[in-house]
């Protein structure tokens, strides 16, 4: 990470309600959406909601209102990390990536067990608190062990906490759809989770109007297994007590497999999508499935990257996530954007910033109050201390880490 944390200031954390009168926040620039940035502008908030955005020289009467001048930089929406695993934070820098994905998974399971619950909790708390320093206010937290639920609840974060499951047993947990922090279910992956369990979990979240998340088309091991070549992965699952003899695998891709199961729709968030064919992207577009990409983790674990350009052509509007500190060196979305800019030079910077804001909010189903600074949305925002004279250079700085 090259960013200086003090350059980013979080105002009105999204998990907090702010009663009281109007406050006007002024800055050199206000980013309503990535493609709508106003120079010398004011953001007006009242009772925790945005009530207006306008030029500071517009002549609008702000008499009697508290006005805070933040400086020459940019007021912008909090970033969205649509896929992360806080519970693996204690494993940072402890796993190697050069022996293949299956070996990495086995190593992760062993190290997670060896580290112990207390260290895992401590690491998760530290990582969660640091999200605010990176300008992240909204998250899609994936938890297998379950203990990060109370951590996320205790902070001022917003978004979705997903209880992840694999094997064949549906966990019995309380699901809630709250205003600013919801609790839902996630399937681990097509090659680790019983298809009947995936269907049952998806049905439960669909009934409650909650998003459902799943790792999809991430590894060669997954693609080979779903195509019917069970190999060493099949033996590994058996060793973990997961019976797969009745799974309807064979002659299909992971995306096609989930489509056949009826799991893909507008409230499903498919994460990674490294191993896709053109038909897969057509299926995702037809079913309006949401997409989240974690390119830095993908490069570390698989030495390949998703085809963002093709996804944009299909109007898939990918969000950004980081995966975990077991596969990535930070949970920062500024870091993720900078990586995308370096590795996808043909992707428009405005699209990259959309991936980190409004696309992430849509992926988590929270776009009605997050992702932009439009009137009526939550008054949470970040201020980034920049001194730049034109809009295009601001977008460039925000997406290339030059802040």
Q: Which residues contact 43 (CB under 8 A, 6 or more apart)?
A: 24, 25, 26, 27, 30, 50, 52, 53, 75, 373, 379, 381
> Could you tell me the CA-to-CA distances from 43 to 57, 71, 372 in Å, in that order?
13, 13, 12
* Domain assignments of the chain as residue spans, ordered by start: 5-77+372-400, 79-363
The pLDDT of residue 86 = 98
DSSP codes, 187-232 = E--TTTB-HHHHHHHHHHHHHHT--EEEEES--HHHHHHHTT--HH
Mean pLDDT (10-residue bins), the chain, 403 residues? 66 73 93 96 94 84 72 97 98 89 87 94 96 95 95 92 84 63 94 94 93 96 93 85 91 97 98 97 98 97 96 97 96 97 97 98 96 96 92 92 68
Name 238's Cβ contacts closer than 8 Å, sequence gap at least 6: 244
Q: Which of 207, 209, 164, 211 is nearest to 189 (CA)?
A: 164
DSSP 273-303: --S--HHHHHHHHHTT-EEEE-HHHHHHHHS
pLDDT for 392? 86
* Measured distance CA(143)–CA(44) in Å, rounded: 36
Residue corresponding to tokens 């681990």? 188
Tokens, residue 101: 């994905």
Top-level CATH class of 5-77+372-400?
A: mainly beta
| 3-class SS of residue 182 | strand
Q: How far is CA 31 from the centre of its chain?
A: 20
Same topology for domains 5-77+372-400 and 79-363, yes or no? no
Topology (CATH level 3) of domain 79-363: TIM Barrel (3.20.20)
Alpha carbons 276 and 256: distance in angstroms, whole number: 10
Q: What is the spatial distance between Cα 152 and Cα 90, in angstroms, rounded to a whole number?
A: 16
Could you tell me if 257 and 226 are in contact, meaning their C-beta atoms sit under 8 angstroms apart? yes
Quick one: DSSP state of residue 167?
Answer: B
Q: What is the dihedral angle through the alpha carbons of 56, 58, 63, 66, rounded to the nearest 10 degrees?
A: -20
Q: What is the DSSP string of 17-61?
A: ---SSEEEEEEEEEEEETTEEEEEEEEEEETTEEEEEEETTS---
Alpha carbons 105 and 107: distance in angstroms, whole number = 5
pTM for the full predicted model:
0.94
């Amino acid at each position: 990470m090259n960013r200086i944390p003090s350059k980013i200031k979080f105002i009105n954390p999204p998990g907090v309600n702010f009663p009281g009168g109007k406050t006007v926040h002024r800055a050199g620039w206000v980013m309503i959406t990535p493609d709508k940035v106003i120079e010398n502008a004011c953001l007006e908030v009242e009772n925790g909601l945005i009530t207006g955005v306008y030029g500071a020289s517009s002549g609008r009467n702000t008499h009697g209102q508290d006005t805070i001048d933040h400086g020459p930089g940019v007021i912008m929406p909090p970033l969205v990390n649509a896929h992360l695993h806080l519970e693996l934070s204690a494993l940072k820098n402890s796993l190697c990536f050069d022996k293949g994905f299956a070996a990495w998974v086995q190593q992760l399971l062993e190290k997670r067990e060896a580290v112990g619950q207390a260290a895992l909790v401590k690491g998760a708390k530290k990582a969660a608190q640091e999200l605010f320093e990176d300008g992240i206010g909204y998250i899609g937290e994936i938890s297998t062990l379950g203990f990060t639920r109370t951590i996320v609840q205790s902070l001022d974060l917003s978004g979705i906490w997903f209880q992840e499951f694999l094997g064949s047993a549906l966990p019995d947990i309380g699901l809630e759809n709250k205003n600013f922090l919801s609790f839902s279910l996630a399937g681990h992956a097509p090659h680790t989770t019983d298809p009947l369990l995936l269907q049952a979990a998806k049905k439960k979240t669909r009934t409650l109007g909650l998003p459902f998340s799943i790792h999809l088309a991430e590894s060669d091991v997954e693609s080979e297994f779903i195509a019917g070549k069970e190999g060493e992965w099949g033996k590994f699952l058996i060793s973990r007590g997961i019976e797969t003899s009745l799974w309807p695998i064979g002659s299909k891709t992971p995306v096609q497999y989930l489509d056949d199961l009826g799991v893909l729709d507008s409230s499903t968030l498919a994460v990674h999508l490294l191993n896709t064919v053109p038909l897969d992207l057509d299926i995702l577009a037809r079913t309006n499935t949401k997409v989240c990409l974690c390119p830095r983790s993908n490069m570390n674990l698989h030495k390949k990257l998703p085809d963002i350009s093709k996804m944009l052509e299909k109007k898939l509007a990918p969000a950004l996530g980081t995966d975990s500190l077991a596969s990535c060196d930070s949970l920062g979305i500024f870091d993720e954007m900078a990586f995308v800019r370096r590795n996808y030079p043909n992707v428009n910077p405005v699209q990259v910033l959309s991936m980190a804001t409004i696309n992430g909010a849509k992926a988590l189903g929270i776009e009605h109050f997050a992702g932009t600074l439009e009137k009526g949305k939550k008054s949470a925002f970040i201020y980034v201390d920049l001194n730049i004279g034109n809009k295009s250079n601001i977008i460039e700085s925000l997406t290339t880490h030059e802040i």
